[in-house]
Structure 1
Amino acid sequence: MTHPWSAPVATGPVRATVSVPGSKSITNRALLLAALSERPAAVHGVPASRDTELMLNALRALGVPVEADANGLVRTGKHEGFRGPAEIDCGLAGTVMRFVPPAAALADGEIRFDGDPRARERPIETVLNALRALGVQLDGDALPFTLHGTGATPGGTVTIDASASSQFVSGLLLSGARYDKGVTVHHDGKPVPSLPHIEMTVSMLREAGVEVDDAEPNTWRVAPGPVAPRDWAVEPDLSNATPFLAAAAVTGGAVTVPGWPSETTQAGDLIREVLARMGCEVTLSADGLTVTGPARLSGVDIDLHDAGELTPTVAALAALAGSPSVLRGIAHLRGHETDRLAALRTELNGLGGDVTETEGGLAIRPAPLHGGDWHAYADHRMATAGAIIGLVVPGVRVDDIGTTAKTIPDFPGLWNGMLSP
């Protein structure tokens, strides 16, 4: 049973330097590519988060030698290919439930997948149907399901609708080079959300020596061939850094996140533009990214289609701004860890906010907020949004702050450390 967490109130402008753990998105791609190489490889800067642990355990279940130390170094060893029988717990990690099945299609044996109750409701049928079209035998259309591996996968060309998640594309591309014919993925549907995540996948595949052709819009071709082993270095998780930057924004303080890359494929980098448009001073230097908050935040009208993961942070900022905001292009968030649009509307309005859902997002108008219970819905980003509100609204109680361990080890410790003099 979880206990409510009383969100600490900032006693003045927050001034701090906060080092955030490595990117979960980069980490789980790097771990899978290391395993697909079948030779020794290393990943540096791995966060000790639940999503990462679920990926490590999935690889171990498939027969990959994995060693992880307390300093964020993971080494994968030589092996003769994936094997079953195996049981894989996806938890609530989209990168596990959508990236590992295409890799497990290369295994010899039966592989059973399951996850948290909410994971059974998250979209995955697109990936499973794509695998069937590529010659893989599967039982089921959602978690739990069973994959019957034969040790190889024909591959080829498949057309999918990836408008619910870019992970449908990334999952197929990451393992596609190991398929007999490689893989070509065509998207047919509404625009794919979070395209920077697919760009991240393509970039990392190329770093691993895989030939990828993405010249044609909505089409990605991965040539068959080996995946080269290499040492991967994981960048700080920019999306997980946003609550700490938001602390500076809502208190008129200044927060620096060291190691912020000057160039990146992480969608979270969009927070720089968002904060600048809301009135913050945003500076990227050799020391990292520094955000200095204004006397009062301005509302923003912005399309977050390519960076939907920022929505809970931006919604919290918008609820504390002095003018209205409209967040667009995020209808796909209704299928994330929870229905994030409904959750944000419910929780912000429960504290006195004025939020309405639109077909594609949220409309947020200024309103005086008060304390009360904030429900996280087992969603790490909902929990951190409650923490942001609690910085300037006394009496906010987050029902499950522990869910932040999905991607941020010891979020409460980092948060309290930021507020310490």
Structure 2
Amino acid sequence: MTANPAHTALWPAPYASGAVDATVHVPGSKSVTNRALVLAALASEPGWLRRPLRSRDTLLMAGALRAMGVGVEETVASSSTVAAGPDASGEAWRIIPSGLHGPATVDVGNAGTVMRFLPPVAALADGPIRFDGDPRSYERPLNGVIDALRLLGARIDDEGRGALPLTVHGGGALDGGPVEIDASSSSQFVSSLLLSGPRFNQGVEVRHTGSTLPSMPHIRMTVDMLRAVGAQVDTPESGGEPNVWRVTPGALLGRDLIIEPDLSNAQPFLAAALVTGGTVVVPDWPTRTTQPGDRLREIFTEMGGSCELTDRGLEFTGSGAIHGIDVDLGEVGELTPGIAAVAALADSPSTLRGVSHLRLHETDRLAALTKEINELGGDVTETADGLHIRPRALHGGIFHTYDDHRMATAGAIIGLAVKGVQIENVATTAKTLPDFPDLWTGMLGNPGTLGN
């Protein structure tokens, strides 16, 4: 079998000859888009998603729902047809729920949201739904979802792997009720059960039994989005028991939803301002959000920048200096690769903590970051739950991505300050950030408004 040229090609990471000054329109949030697709598919009436992210992960989610009988119609909406608010023209997806059914085969790629959010949906389908994906998807933990669904009444054939590939034998309904899971390796285990919980006969009560729970903002995002479509959800924050979430059975409403920009995907562009001492504006940055990427305002400010929310969006400016940081990233682990890249260029050491679960992401991100930064001359040490980074003078070389989009953008950040960095398989950024190379080079070489 011949290797895909896109996976072996080397992309010369652009070197910044001066301070950046650009406005970058970041595409919609993957996390919001894929949750919204699931909720719309389970609703009792059609709905709209405005400005959804069109990327590999979201197209895999849409394709999987289509395979199970859901209508996903892609259109270009004019502003005159948008009921959800002004300035929401552009791409829109019409979601038309229907009877979920098999037989069907779902390609999850290497998307955690697809492989974890859809087995509960498949349990509600009438007929068998087979799940398969990229080789790396076989290594990612899925036992929390599989075991929980079995306890709730689902029939799943995974040949004892606790991982892909597997088949969910949908019976058209699921009893639901109380279930205990250990979601220490992924908060998506909790979100997956909550998203489909309103459609279970008894709803669902999810009790997390593990000692840690990473990425809590993503669970809060799930809860907020459920409530927005009419679900009743009791949470620890609303006076419930610690580590227990309850969803009452009931119908979900169709929504007309504008998808927020993906704030985690804004990270490399904000990092560019920090690294070059320039300014980047990200329009439509929300004033209130559950997205983990909002923590960048605090973290990158501590590392030497400054930011302000204005009518233009988030204006972020670097000071020309980059400082090391000691930070717990347990709730925002997906930001670790970009923060590690910036930390490798800082004027003092950094310690990134609380992210042992990153060993189970698209790749083992802690091992990958350590290897790739060190091969450029860096001094990174893995710890039990993170990284310790001592800045060193770096040199050019090949930065491998391991089919991980956030590794690719981390390498691009380093390339701003280090000549001769070549990114292997930059095309992997299409997983969540389509057209990244064009946005990146445009930001550096053609200041103005990018990404429209």
- In the alignment, the residues of structure 1 paired with residue 97 and residue 217 of structure 2 have an alpha-carbon distance, to the nearest angstrom, of 31
SS at match of 2:199: coil
The yes-or-no answer on 1:377 pairing with 2:423 is no
Identity over aligned pairs, percent? 61
Displacement of 1:230: 1.2
State the match for 2:221 in structure 1.
Answer: 200
CA contact (8 A) 2:42 2:97 kept: no
Displacement of 1:295: 2.0
CA contact (8 A) 2:24 2:439 kept: yes
- AA aligned to 1:117 is P
CA contact (8 A) 2:43 2:251 kept: yes
- AA aligned to 1:46 is P
The yes-or-no answer on 1:231 pairing with 2:256 is yes
- In the alignment, the residues of structure 2 paired with residue 118 and residue 171 of structure 1 have an alpha-carbon distance, to the nearest angstrom, of 20
CA contact (8 A) 1:46 1:74 kept: yes
State the match for 1:413 in structure 2.
Answer: 438
Displacement of 1:38: 4.0
CA gap 1:287/1:78 in 2 versus in 1, 3 angstroms: same
TM, length-normalised to structure 2: 0.92
CA contact (8 A) 1:383 1:401 kept: yes
SS at match of 1:321: coil
Following superposition of structure 1 onto structure 2, how do residues 394-413 of structure 1 map, counting pairs within 5 Å? Answer: 394-413=419-438
- 283, 308, 312: which is aligned to 2:337? 312
Name the count of aligned residue pairs.
420
CA contact (8 A) 2:117 2:195 kept: yes
- In the alignment, the residues of structure 2 paired with residue 118 and residue 72 of structure 1 have an alpha-carbon distance, to the nearest angstrom, of 31
- AA aligned to 1:292 is T
State the match for 2:204 in structure 1.
Answer: 183
CA contact (8 A) 1:239 1:267 kept: yes
SS at match of 2:129: strand
State the match for 1:261 in structure 2.
Answer: 286
Which consecutive unaligned segments of at least 5 residues does structure 1 have? none
CA contact (8 A) 1:48 1:72 kept: no
SS at match of 1:42: strand
Listed one character per residue, the Cα deviations across residues 179-204 of structure 1 (whole Å, up to 9, x for unaligned) are: 00000000011221000000000000
RMSD: 0.8
Displacement of 1:78: 4.2
Displacement of 1:146: 0.5
- 13, 20, 31: which is aligned to 1:25? 31
- AA aligned to 1:19 is H
State the match for 1:84 in structure 2.
Answer: 102
Listed one character per residue, the Cα deviations across residues 325-364 of structure 1 (whole Å, up to 9, x for unaligned) are: 0000000000000000000000000000000000010000
TM, length-normalised to structure 1: 0.99
SS at match of 2:402: coil
* Structure 1 runs, 4 residues or longer, greater than 2 Å off: 69-72
- In the alignment, the residues of structure 1 paired with residue 117 and residue 96 of structure 2 have an alpha-carbon distance, to the nearest angstrom, of 20
- In the alignment, the residues of structure 1 paired with residue 302 and residue 231 of structure 2 have an alpha-carbon distance, to the nearest angstrom, of 38
CA contact (8 A) 2:381 2:389 kept: yes
Following superposition of structure 1 onto structure 2, how do residues 203-352 of structure 1 map, counting pairs within 5 Å? Answer: 203-214=224-235, 215-352=240-377
State the match for 1:113 in structure 2.
Answer: 131
- AA aligned to 1:82 is L
- AA aligned to 2:132 is D
Listed one character per residue, the Cα deviations across residues 216-274 of structure 1 (whole Å, up to 9, x for unaligned) are: 22000000111111111100000000000000000111111011011100011011111
Listed one character per residue, the Cα deviations across residues 4-42 of structure 1 (whole Å, up to 9, x for unaligned) are: 000011110111110000000000001110110142111
Displacement of 1:296: 1.6
- 12, 17, 29: which is aligned to 1:6? 12
SS at match of 1:68: strand
SS at match of 2:52: coil
SS at match of 2:422: strand
